[in-house]
Structure 1
Amino acid sequence: MEIMRATGTDARRRAARPAERIAYATGLALIASGAFHLGVFGVDGGPWDGPVSWRKPVTFGLSFGLTLIALTWVTSYLQVGARLRNVLLVVFTADCVLEVGGITLQAWRGVPSHLNMETAFDTAVSMSLAVGGGVLVVLLTVFAIVAFRNRPDGPTGMPLAVRAGFAVLLVALASGAAMIARGVTLTRTGHQEAAYHSTAALKPLHGVSLHAVLVLPVLAWLMTRTSWSELTKNRVMYAAVSAYVAAVLATGTWAALTYET
């Protein structure tokens, strides 16, 4: 059975190589962009927080780059057709470029990237980022559904890691959607400045839950390099998942206590 699973996974990986190469290369480029803008911040200075800051191209470049690389790798363990996975990866890659590109453009222009309706161009950028965020939600939800409909492949601990990672990722998607909805509502009711600061309470929850889909599968992969028994590996993975859920609950509680209506 394990050999059959490994063979099936290898076949999907071979079929998806072109899309994977594009996704991995793009992910590295986005990470490089984030690192470059950290250097720009070091030279140019300015505030780290706030709606206009070099922080945004830094954190979004690094975060989207890592997420793209992680999703490309993790989805190779899903029981999904190669063609469908290729299409989803290509769209996801393009959407990541759109998000980071729009944010970076506005940072260089010295204006807010999200919730900015000051000019027609700023509105177009802001709305494209919002639409791109919606596309991300749909794509990642599809991957999550696949993960729970069919048991993922992989070594001991990997199926649990992939499923738990996608489950926690759904929390990130929900918190991200809540931030966008809250900000848009405030903007359209004439509270532009409040909109820029309305997302602060949810940012820790969003950030923590976003990367479970990378952290947990990496742990499962690292355990393949040990001589631990399958029982020990499963126990470690369950403990890791529990710890991550506790972190999500902690940041969620903080968000609920500090969220301003």
Structure 2
Amino acid sequence: MPDQTTTSSQDRIPDRVYEATAALLILSGLLHLVVFAVDGGPWDGPVSWRKPVTFGLSFGVTLLAVVRVTSCLRLDARLRTLLLGVFAADCVVEVGGITLQAWRRVPSHLDMETPFNTAVSMTLAVGGGVLVVLLTVFAVVSFRHPPTGPAGMALAVRSGFAVLLVALASGTAMIARGVVLTRTGHQEAAYRSTAPLKPLHGVSLHAVLVLPALAWLLSRTPWSAPVRRRIVVAAVGCYWAAVAAAGVWAVLTY
């Protein structure tokens, strides 16, 4: 991933805090994988250890990727630090709420059965909205000004954020449809309604990590810049093909 070689060590302190936060979220996901192995129970469904595992890992990896990738953006340093701080805090709230409900053995999303569960579900929904806004801001910045970095990095970062917007849109659609079904008294249907969009959401969520990481790894090879750019272009095409396939599957099964 990109290095912040021009940034002072003092300015790097917030990034280290955010990266440590990401590591803790990843550790939480791994620890709950151990809990699942010991406690057992279903892997699928609205109440399972799968949720703290997958959300801990996904939010941790995404936070780490966004911290690294935004170092390539032409963005005021203090504004970037502020936006990343809000993003990191929101990631902690999301994973914390999901983990809390897993230990309480109740659904974390779309659960309006009690005032407390409703408060948790609405907090997670609002937190999701904050994530959408912040990541959209980063995406817009990446397209307004070419990201810095080695050959292919600008394309990788822009494509990563573009694909990430697909993940945000599919996630918003899942929550919106689920809330409508819940409000109209179709609780079980609300839980099932998210299944068709989950592959699309999962595939598109991590492009912002995979594509810039590939560009960074290629910069460590002896290959020429044009060769590295062509490899990144091919990888971007393959990733969009995977997103399109998941999108077709979502349409056919929705």
Out of 79, 84, 87, the residue aligned to residue 92 of structure 1 is 87
Aligned to 1:139: 134
SS of 1:48's partner is coil
Aligned-pair CA distance for 1:248: 0.2
Residues 27-86 of structure 1: CA deviation (Å, up to 9, x unaligned): 000000000000000000000000000000000000000000000000000000000000
Out of 14, 17, 33, the residue aligned to residue 19 of structure 1 is 14
Q: Distance in 1 between matches of 2:187 and 2:10?
A: 48
Residues 146-183 of structure 1: CA deviation (Å, up to 9, x unaligned): 00000000000111100000000000000000000000
Stretches of structure 2 lacking an aligned partner (at least 5 in a row): none
The answer to whether the 8 A contact 1:92-1:136 is kept is yes
The CA RMSD measured in Å over matched residues stands at 1.3
Aligned to 2:238: 243
Give the TM-score normalised by structure 1.
0.95
Q: Determine what percentage of the aligned residue pairs are the same residue.
A: 71
Residues 181-222 of structure 1: CA deviation (Å, up to 9, x unaligned): 000000000000110111000000000000000000010011
Out of 33, 42, 45, the residue aligned to residue 50 of structure 1 is 45
Query: How many residue pairs get matched?
Result: 253
Aligned-pair CA distance for 1:224: 1.1
The aligned runs of 1:170-185 (5 Å cut-off) are: 170-185=165-180
The structure-2 alpha-carbon separation of the partners of 1:13 and 1:63, relative to structure 1 and needing over 3 Å to count, comes to: farther
The answer to whether the 8 A contact 1:16-1:85 is kept is no
Q: Distance in 1 between matches of 2:32 and 2:129?
A: 26
Residues 214-255 of structure 1: CA deviation (Å, up to 9, x unaligned): 000010011011111111101100000000000000000000
The aligned runs of 1:1-261 (5 Å cut-off) are: 10-12=5-7, 14=9, 16-259=11-254
Quick one: which amino acid aligns to residue 185 of structure 1?
Answer: V
Aligned-pair CA distance for 1:17: 1.3
Quick one: which amino acid aligns to residue 121 of structure 2?
Answer: S
Quick one: which amino acid aligns to residue 110 of structure 1?
Answer: R
Q: Which runs of 4+ in 1 moved over 2 A?
A: 9-16
Q: Distance in 2 between matches of 1:180 and 1:120?
A: 19
Q: Distance in 1 between matches of 2:157 and 2:118?
A: 37
SS of 1:46's partner is coil
Give the TM-score normalised by structure 2.
0.97
Quick one: which amino acid aligns to residue 184 of structure 2?
Answer: T
SS of 1:51's partner is coil
Q: Distance in 2 between matches of 1:133 and 1:104?
A: 16
The answer to whether the 8 A contact 1:161-1:220 is kept is yes
Stretches of structure 1 lacking an aligned partner (at least 5 in a row): 1-5
The structure-2 alpha-carbon separation of the partners of 1:234 and 1:110, relative to structure 1 and needing over 3 Å to count, comes to: same
Q: Distance in 1 between matches of 2:64 and 2:123?
A: 23
SS of 1:142's partner is helix
Q: Distance in 1 between matches of 2:13 and 2:226?
A: 37
